[in-house]
Structure 1
Amino acid sequence: MGMGVDIRNQMAKRAAEEIQNGMVVNLGIGIPSLVPNHLSQKIQVMFHAENGIMGMGPSPIKGNEDENLCNAGGFPVTLTNGGSYCDSSIAFGMIRSGRVDITILGSLQVSQDGDLANWIVPGKKVPGMGGAMELAQKAKKVIVVMNHCDKHGHPKIVNRCTLPLTSSRCVDVIITELAVFKITETGLILTELFAPYKLDIVEGKTGCEFKVSEMIRNIPY
């Protein structure tokens, strides 16, 4: 059973809260690509794509696509005022030199220490690493948006990742359909719950210990 569109948008909306005016933002494919729909009009940011765009705009209206203008996932996009193109080596140079303020990525697993495993399930066909390794290492803030459990019901937040790592100790915030966690020097802390979920449900579906913030924010449905 897949997640409903509303749950995906609820997670994207919470991720959008992490974005501040003037940031350079890189979005992964999947749920992160919904984030721009939830930004307020007052917030002006530049969306960066690894294939060579700075200033990516929303999806074009059907029939208005430019066959030469797509995002890193290959989907058609537009360009905002002030946006520019470059080749992918320049786009990766921007990432590696710390020019990206925030990246919002999906993941297969995240460990309690903030290790990220999001690029391959061994034995499965994979399109490639993409920008994940560089982004995880070099973006100033790394937000993971993912289901709390995989399709078999196994927790995706774990003591130690069992899948190959993209990068170690890089994740700052995890957003799932159940809760929001921050990863700090002292470990994993649950800071927010999505209604109608309660703490015991989250504990039962999380594969490691975590601390609970003294002030839990409840996010209404």
Structure 2
Amino acid sequence: MTKLTNAQIAWRVAQDIPDGAYANLGIGFPEMVVQYKPKGRTVIYHSENGILDFGERPAQGQENWDLINAGKKPVTLNPGAAIFHQADSFAIVRGGHLDVAVLGAFQVSARGDIANWKRDPNDIPAVGGAMDLVHGAGEVFVIAEHVTKQGEPKLVEQCSFPLTGVGCVTRVYTSLAVIHIFAQGFVLREKLPSISFDDLQSVTGAPLHVEGDVADLIVPDL
């Protein structure tokens, strides 16, 4: 089945973060979104370890390893950027000062619940800052493969993993579709033109609703 790459999904998310928004990018896959900010658009990216207004990853060999995001990846600073204590950073999150949080997920339910952490006996079992982000940001965008490596749906009727937040996800951007979440559940907005609605529904673990036209999900080659 044809699907988007991680870079293409990140590009698609970047197009929907509005001009002037304050946005947090979660650890891992969501960090790629910073690379695809549309030209001429101002987005102030926040990292919970204490950075406001960071930019793209530096060129290889130009990294400053004293300047990293919450995922320990090197970043650059835009003119006017600020660095501050982690406690102040979480005051920004908990105070409702973020417009958007972009997070990865193991599962998203039809009512907007998100599960993006797991209990791992080989690692420290912790939800991290995501629990604050999903309730502090104005909107929560999830970025994910549409199915797991085993072919199981990530979009489900009810999450089976430990929850990070309840009823907080507003949009899901997957390798196959763009889906918004409303009171009635998953509402399909865009899908790859190469996949039929029925085939998309077959790999989605809850009903997909359609309101008006469903646009083709078109992205550049990246």
Match of 1:115 in 2: 113
Relative to structure 1, is the Cα distance of residues 189 and 8 closer, same or farther in structure 2, using a 3 angstrom cutoff?
A: same
Match of 2:88 in 1: 90
Match of 2:184 in 1: 186
The Cα of 1:29 is off from its aligned counterpart by 2.5
The answer to whether the 8 A contact 2:191-2:215 is kept is yes
The answer to whether the 8 A contact 1:121-1:163 is kept is no
- Asked if residue 219 in structure 1 is aligned to residue 194 in structure 2, the reply is no
| Alignment match of 2:150 (pick from 149, 152, 172) | 152
| Alignment match of 1:48 (pick from 46, 49, 53) | 46
Stretch of structure 1 that moved more, 60-69 or 78-87: 60-69
Match of 2:171 in 1: 173
Give me the whole-angstrom Cα distance separating, in 2, the residues matched to 1:105 and 1:80: 22
The Cα of 1:58 is off from its aligned counterpart by 1.3
Unmatched tracts of structure 1, length 5 or more: none
Give me the whole-angstrom Cα distance separating, in 2, the residues matched to 1:126 and 1:205: 32
The answer to whether the 8 A contact 1:46-1:54 is kept is yes
The Cα of 1:122 is off from its aligned counterpart by 5.2
The Cα of 1:130 is off from its aligned counterpart by 2.2
> What SS does the corresponding residue of 1:215 show, helix, strand or coil?
coil
The answer to whether the 8 A contact 1:25-1:46 is kept is yes
- Asked if residue 19 in structure 1 is aligned to residue 41 in structure 2, the reply is no
The Cα of 1:124 is off from its aligned counterpart by 5.6
Give me the whole-angstrom Cα distance separating, in 1, the residues matched to 2:6 and 2:14: 12
Q: Residue type of the partner of 2:195?
A: Y
The answer to whether the 8 A contact 1:120-1:126 is kept is no
Give me the whole-angstrom Cα distance separating, in 2, the residues matched to 1:147 and 1:123: 25
> What SS does the corresponding residue of 1:214 show, helix, strand or coil?
coil
Match of 2:31 in 1: 33
Give me the whole-angstrom Cα distance separating, in 1, the residues matched to 2:54 and 2:31: 11
Q: Residue type of the partner of 1:47?
A: Y
Match of 1:203 in 2: 201
Give me the whole-angstrom Cα distance separating, in 2, the residues matched to 1:40 and 1:147: 23
- Asked if residue 66 in structure 1 is aligned to residue 57 in structure 2, the reply is no
Q: Residue type of the partner of 1:22?
A: G
Relative to structure 1, is the Cα distance of residues 72 and 86 closer, same or farther in structure 2, using a 3 angstrom cutoff?
A: same
Match of 2:130 in 1: 132
Question: 1:154-178 CA distances to partner (integer Å, 9 max, x unpaired)?
Answer: 1111111000000000000011111
Cα RMSD for the two superposed structures: 1.8
Q: Provide the identity percentage.
A: 36
Q: Give TM-score scaled by structure 2 length.
A: 0.92
The Cα of 1:108 is off from its aligned counterpart by 0.2
Question: 1:183-214 CA distances to partner (integer Å, 9 max, x unpaired)?
Answer: 01222211110232221111110111121222
Task: Give the length in aligned residue pairs.
Answer: 218
Question: 1:32-53 CA distances to partner (integer Å, 9 max, x unpaired)?
Answer: 2121222122101111000000
- Asked if residue 142 in structure 1 is aligned to residue 145 in structure 2, the reply is no
Q: Give TM-score scaled by structure 1 length.
A: 0.92
Give me the whole-angstrom Cα distance separating, in 1, the residues matched to 2:13 and 2:149: 22
The answer to whether the 8 A contact 2:119-2:126 is kept is no
